[in-house]
Amino acid sequence: MKFSVSFLLSTPLLFLNLFGEKPNPKSLEFTKWTPNFLVPDPVALSFDNQGRAYVTQTQRRKANDLDIRQNRDWIPDDLSFKTPDGKRAFYHKAFTSQNSDANKRRVKDFNKDGKHDLADLRFLSERIHLIEDTDSDGLADKTSIYAEGFTDEIGGIAAGVLHYDGDVYTTIVPDVWKLRDTNDDGKADQRQSIAYGFGVHLAYAGHDMHGLTVGPDGRIYWTIGDKGVGASSKEGRHFQYPNQGAVLRCDTDGSNFEVYARGLRNVQEIAFDQYGNMFGIDNDSDRPGEKERFVYIVQHMDAGWRSNWQYRNGTFNPWMDENLSIPWHKGQPAYITPPISLYNNGPAGLAFNPGTALGEEWQNYFFHTSAPNGQQWAFQVEQDGASFKMVNDMQIGNGVPIVGINFGPDGALYGVDWGGGYPLNEKGAIWKWDVKEKHPLRALTAKLLRSDFSKTATNELIATLNHPDQRARLKAQFELVKRGARKELWKAARSGPQLLRIHAIWGLCQFDRLTKSPKGDILELLSDPDPEIRTQIVRSFGEILTSELALHQAPGPRDSPFDFLELEKCLEDDSPRVRFHAAIALGNLGALGSSKALIKMARNIPDESNTYQRHAAIAGLTGCASSEILAALASEQSELIQKIAVVALRRRADPKVRHFLYSPFKNVVAEAARAIHDDWSIPNAIPALARSLATTKWIKDEGFIKRAINANFHLGTPEAATRVADYTIRADVPEELRLNALDALRQWSKPGKLDRVVGRYRPLSDRDPAIATNAVYKKLTNLLIDPSQKIQSEAMALARLLKIEIPGEALVAVAKNESSIPALRIEALRALATQKNEKLLACITSAFESKEHSIRIEALKILAKFNPLLALDRVEVVLSSNKANTLEKQTALALLGGDLASAKGDSILNLLLNSFEECPPSLKLDLTEAAAVRQINAPDPDFTHTLEGGDADRGRNLFMNHIAAQCIRCHKVKDGKGSDIGPNLKSAGLQGRGHHLEAIVDPQKTITEGYGSISLTLENGQSIAGLFKSEMKGVIEIKDAEGVITRVVSENVKERTPVISTMPPMGAILTKREIRDIIEYLSTLKSKK
């Protein structure tokens, strides 16, 4: 059956965005599509037009595809890689047979050869399953393996899959694979890597490549998390974004690969609306108070994230400290395009209703899954200037951790269920959302999608460009391009229904790009009264020529075959979308001479909150303006114009950006400092940034000053050291920044591998210690009499490191002064020990009488090195004293297994072990650990030994910042920061310590009501999924997305999944000491509200 041409040429108002009454989520029925077999550990799915599902399975996640959280000692090495081949070379050195014992904790001996080596990293394969409903009863009944054998030692997970035009594409770091079944036996017999260079870092598990889809231009689009990109195109262009997530694209044969957008952390699936606008939801970095981000993704955007910031705990972190993670606010750095809004936890799947799917009430809705908490959502977008805003957001499901989603040709929405939590268990399923009141055109659309368009007449294909379903429109568009119907597309683009014209415009420009024969005739239509038509013309035309914009590679203006006057006129269009895309188009095309018009457009941006207009001006000027024109904008009286110029220069790595260090605007100066210092840096501008430390009036701006200090640190010269030392004694600057300068001088001679400010891998050679010594020596007197005792303390520590001797009498006076802060007295004791001062023992004896336990502890540690026999006597006093606190006694026990290891020390340990049952619970862990070091028989350390004796401050830091445990990722605490994935712990202290221990080491044993997912299949075939509430007297209670409780009689259940908590057992992730500290912290949380 065919649609009539007259029907297809009528304007389909029904499915356009009318933002009417919100649909009822209860209209969606949620059923298991695979009730009769398991779909093991699925991640993504895609359908062919016959309704067969291609589903990826991961076996390698955290097993062969290693996670940096379980290999934290490799963080500096991991950050050093610039391409996947760097990681490969590292693995080849690390995973040798000789290193087998050291690698036991990294990889299992999968092949059972007695070694933990590269062969084990090549053992497990990712798979693609082909799942079919062969009898058309609405349930899948056949499963087979379509492809496997993906075992590269640096290979990631099969996180993306796409069936398109007879081929199956899958993304498995480091490759994008193109597969084909040529003999129709259900198995791929051809495979080709069409793009390589992805997954530079180990990074976090799951930050792989996802979201394969076909764009409106006929290109393949996909995402990568912050494992990063180090790839080259077939045309010889290089893309180096090793520390950023991105949206990527290429043609179907892998040609014309490029990075479309970047600075993302881990957007998984992306979706285009009917106008070709791309959206995604980015995962947060698990920081306290941080949220996920809803992003409108546009070409050349930088969303701001860098993976090296993930590990900056307890120190300056640009992502949080410069507020990069939140929507626009005044003072936010201008080089990023911030998110539209914040959004729900754990985003995974995303799909847009193509037009005739589900029911009419769900047209123009996006569907989104939040995998960790088992929630599903739906929303729409509404134009907001050059950008969009989310509207009609609603929860539509609860209880099943759905990952990837996609629409089938039948119009239902399908999603893969990982089978409970992150650990792999070879379980899983495919679920289906559908409605009773189906869209009236669904069956006809499915039939059209199954048909062979190569046999369809051209006029019918043109008419199909106005079909109510986007899938049919795109299929017709691509067939018209394939058969070279440019003349017909040009005619269709001139008049007719809006969506027909838009697809004709897309097809025209797609054809011109692929044939490399751009004509420019489409620009004749820029006088059209419809702003969306004008928008699509400038956007599509701007991509006809291969884009060359890329960070640190943007070439600037270049010759072009076109006259850009018509495009320049669009910079003054009434529509902000037209202006936006015109600016980007001019930058893409390298419109030499268009910089004047672009600057005028930038001047007309109402204010900085118009971040997408700002981005367009930056992208346009990056491609069009000469260095001289951009540098001259330093004389502009507009802060916004100066920022735009700075970012454009940054994208070209142009040292002329240094001129903006002298701007009268503080935020411009800070922007210039970021441009010079961050990412790859601009080496020729670093000296100017370093000099600005001594000349700037913005002496209190944290981000700017820390980068200026660091610029001097990178130079490492005597002049640079003097500038930093001069800053340390300034009384008119914040104490924190002076301490930062002192820290730079402390590290001066041994800089290390990771950058002090941004954490990027930037190794510097060791330097002559005399440089820092000479700079500090001249300032030391001032520092030691500074009003701030913190400054005095750090100066004293620095002097000790640099071997600058402070008079002993002065140190003695400080060490004995009870009015001095503990840190200062401790540094005085350390300095006396370094000098081997004759008064050291007297000062230690005095310190033992201090009210501050930190001073008493430090004195004991120093005595252990200075006089072990006296220290052993002191240990006995501490362990038997009622006045010594728990931390002192724990320190004493640790010394018996360390600096005081001796026969007498062993005697003390044995004495304590003989009465182990009487040992205070807070010391049992320390006692058994010390005995283990000394190889003394003792009870095995037990998790019950973690119940008492922890440090709440350390526990809080672990809760907030531990990169493997990530407690704050799922829980909120008393200050309201965190996530709703797990229970709110603000009142955790009201529960027993035993409860905390059980929840940490065995989270599946007792699951808090409402936080465990369950799904049931009933004897009548009905499926029910949600959050498990209770099971009593043969009745199971399940709560759905609306909070409605469904009660099911147990004997009516045919199949049930276990109640699953997504929290993994932490005993394998945290040490017992860490667990003890976290329990102590949780015990302090006693809010009754």
CB neighbours of residue 28 within 10 Å: 21
Residues contacting residue 780 through CB under 8 Å, at least 6 positions apart:
795, 799, 804, 806
Edge-first strand order for the sheet with 209-214 is 209-214, 220-224, 245-250, 258-264
Task: Compute the average pLDDT of residues 164-187.
Answer: 98
Q: What is the pLDDT of residues 336-372, one digit of tens each?
A: 999 999 998 889 999 999 999 999 999 999 999 998 7
Task: Compute the average pLDDT of residues 311-319.
Answer: 90
Q: Burial level of 181, CB count in 10 A (0-12/13-18/19+)?
A: middle
Q: What is the pLDDT of residue 421?
A: 62
pLDDT level of residue 558 (50, 70, 90 thresholds): low
> Is 550's pLDDT higher than 60?
no
Q: What is the pLDDT of residues 573-597, one digit of tens each?
A: 999 999 999 999 999 988 888 999 9
Q: What is the pLDDT of residue 629?
A: 96
| Residues 252, 219: Cα–Cα separation, whole Å | 6
Q: Looking at mean pLDDT, say which of 14-18, 287-291, 471-475 comes out highest.
A: 471-475
Q: What is the pLDDT of residues 620-648, one digit of tens each?
A: 999 999 999 999 999 999 999 999 999 99
End-to-end CA gap in the chain = 63
Q: Crossing angle of helices 442-450/470-482, nearest 10°?
A: 20
Residues contacting residue 315 through CB under 8 Å, at least 6 positions apart:
none
Alpha carbon 584 to its chain's center: 26
Q: What is the pLDDT of residue 13?
A: 40
| Residues 1047, 1054: Cα–Cα separation, whole Å | 15
Task: Compute the average pLDDT of residues 84-96.
Answer: 97
Lowest-confidence region among 33-37, 487-491, 837-841, 1003-1007: 1003-1007
Residues contacting residue 112 through CB under 8 Å, at least 6 positions apart:
none
| Residues 621, 229: Cα–Cα separation, whole Å | 25
pLDDT level of residue 151 (50, 70, 90 thresholds): very high
| Residues 1023, 1043: Cα–Cα separation, whole Å | 18
Supply the Cα-derived Rg of the chain in whole angstroms.
32
> Is 203's pLDDT higher than 90?
yes
Q: What is the pLDDT of residue 17?
A: 41
> Is 764's pLDDT higher than 50?
yes
Q: What is the pLDDT of residue 4?
A: 56
Q: What is the pLDDT of residue 9?
A: 53
Residues written for the chain = 1089
Q: What is the pLDDT of residue 999?
A: 78
Task: Compute the average pLDDT of residues 942-952.
Answer: 82
Task: Compute the average pLDDT of residues 1027-1056.
Answer: 77
Q: Strand 245-250 vs strand 258-264: parallel, antiparallel, or unpaired?
A: antiparallel
Q: What is the pLDDT of residue 16?
A: 43
- Comparison of pLDDT for 314 and 417, the residue scoring more: 417
Angle at 640 between CA 635 and CA 643, to 5 degrees: 75
- Comparison of pLDDT for 428 and 984, the residue scoring more: 428
Task: Compute the average pLDDT of residues 963-989.
Answer: 71
Q: What is the pLDDT of residue 1024?
A: 76
Q: What is the pLDDT of residue 1042?
A: 57
Q: What is the pLDDT of residue 702?
A: 95
Do 61 and 157 contact (CB within 8 A), yes or no? yes
Q: What is the pLDDT of residue 350?
A: 98
Greatest distance between any 2 Cα atoms in the chain: 103
pLDDT level of residue 287 (50, 70, 90 thresholds): confident
- Comparison of pLDDT for 757 and 994, the residue scoring more: 757
Q: Looking at mean pLDDT, say which of 406-410, 514-518, 812-816, 819-823 comes out highest.
A: 406-410
| Residues 812, 1073: Cα–Cα separation, whole Å | 35
pLDDT level of residue 976 (50, 70, 90 thresholds): low
Lowest-confidence region among 140-144, 884-888, 893-897, 1013-1017: 1013-1017
CB neighbours of residue 827 within 10 Å: 26
> Is 376's pLDDT higher than 80?
yes
> Is 708's pLDDT higher than 90?
yes
The structure tokens 């099971």 sit at: 1031
| Residues 522, 540: Cα–Cα separation, whole Å | 10
For residue 610, list its beta bridge partners: none
Do 959 and 985 contact (CB within 8 A), yes or no? no
Q: How much of the chain, in percent, has pLDDT values that exceed 90? A: 75
Q: What is the pLDDT of residue 1015?
A: 75
| Residues 307, 498: Cα–Cα separation, whole Å | 42
> Is 857's pLDDT higher than 80?
yes
pLDDT level of residue 291 (50, 70, 90 thresholds): very high
Task: Compute the average pLDDT of residues 8-25.
Answer: 60
Q: What is the pLDDT of residues 411-431, one digit of tens each?
A: 999 999 987 666 778 889 999
Q: What is the pLDDT of residue 975?
A: 61
Q: Comparing C-alpha atoms, which of 8, 1021, 991, 918 is closest to residue 476?
A: 8
Q: Comparing C-alpha atoms, which of 410, 350, 368 is closest to residue 53?
A: 410
Q: What is the pLDDT of residue 974?
A: 66
| Residues 173, 187: Cα–Cα separation, whole Å | 22
Q: What is the pLDDT of residues 717-731, one digit of tens each?
A: 999 999 999 999 999
Task: Compute the average pLDDT of residues 19-46.
Answer: 91
For residue 36, list its beta bridge partners: none
- Comparison of pLDDT for 1026 and 474, the residue scoring more: 474
Q: What is the pLDDT of residue 420?
A: 61
| Residues 953, 538: Cα–Cα separation, whole Å | 57
Is the backbone of residue 428 left (phi > 0), alpha (psi -120 to 50) or beta? left
Phi/psi at 551 (5° precision):
-55, 135
> Is 858's pLDDT higher than 90?
yes
pLDDT level of residue 390 (50, 70, 90 thresholds): very high
pTM of the model: 0.89
Lowest-confidence region among 320-324, 917-921, 954-958: 954-958
Report the mean per-residue pLDDT for the chain: 91
**What is the H or E stretch that residue 877 is in?**
helix 868-880
Residue 175, token pair as written in the block: 């490759």
The full 3-state SS of 207-267, as one line of letters, equals CCEEEEEECCCCCEEEEECCCCEEEECCCCCEEEECCCEEEEEECCCCCCCEEEEEEECCC
Q: What is the pLDDT of residue 5?
A: 54
Local structure of residue 591 (DSSP, 8 states): B
**What is the H or E stretch that residue 394 is in?**
strand 387-398
Lowest-confidence region among 587-596, 654-663, 1007-1016, 1032-1041: 1007-1016
Q: What is the pLDDT of residue 374?
A: 85
| Strand, helix or coil for residue 469 | coil
Q: What is the pLDDT of residue 980?
A: 63
Which domains, ranges and CATH numbers included, belong to the chain? Answer: 28-303+339-435 (2.120.10.30), 870-941 (no CATH), 952-1008+1064-1082 (1.10.760.10), 1013-1056 (2.30.30.100)
Q: What is the pLDDT of residue 768?
A: 97
Q: How much of the chain, in percent, has pLDDT values that exceed 70? A: 94
Is the backbone of residue 414 left (phi > 0), alpha (psi -120 to 50) or beta? beta
Do 347 and 281 contact (CB within 8 A), yes or no? yes
Q: Comparing C-alpha atoms, which of 153, 161, 104 is closest to residue 127?
A: 161
Lowest-confidence region among 317-326, 469-478, 888-897, 929-938: 929-938
Lowest-confidence region among 280-289, 599-608, 977-986: 977-986
Task: Compute the average pLDDT of residues 237-246.
Answer: 96
pLDDT level of residue 553 (50, 70, 90 thresholds): very low
Do 619 and 549 contact (CB within 8 A), yes or no? yes
